[in-house]
Chain A
Amino acid sequence: MVTRNRIVVGAHYGWRDWLVQRVSAVVMALYTLLLLGLLLWHGGLDYDAWKATFASSLFRLATFVFMLSLLWHAWIGVRNISMDYLKPIAVRLTFQCVVVALLFAYAGWTIQVLWS
Chain B
Amino acid sequence: MASLDRPVSKPRPVYLDLLSIRQPLPAIVSILHRISGAVLFLVGIPLLLWVVQRALASPEAWAQMRATLSHPFAKLVLVALAWSYFHHLIAGIRHLVMDLHIGMDLKPARQTAAVTIVLALVLTLGVAIKLW
Contacts and interface: CB of A to CB of B under 8 A. Distances in A.
Interface in B31-85: 34, 37-38, 40-41, 45-46, 49, 52-53, 55-56, 59, 62-63
Interface in A1-51: 4, 7, 22, 25-26, 29, 32, 47, 50-51
Given A7-B1, A78-B38, A50 B56 contact: yes
Given A77-B41, A106-B46, A54 B89 contact: no
Chain B interface, DSSP helix/strand/loop, else mixed: helix
Contacts, number: 49
B56 A54 contact: yes
Interface residues of A, number: 22
Give the interface size class of chain B. Answer: 20 to 34
B18 to A, nearest CB: 13
A62 to B, nearest CB: 13
25 contacts: A4-B5, A7-B4, A7-B5, A22-B96, A22-B99, A25-B92, A25-B96, A29-B89, A29-B93, A47-B59, A47-B62, A47-B63, A54-B56, A70-B45, A74-B37, A77-B34, A77-B38, A77-B41, A78-B37, A78-B41, A81-B34, A106-B49, A109-B53, A113-B49, A113-B52
Given A29-B92, A32-B89, A113-B52, 6 more contacts: A7-B5, A22-B96, A29-B93, A106-B46, A109-B53, A113-B56
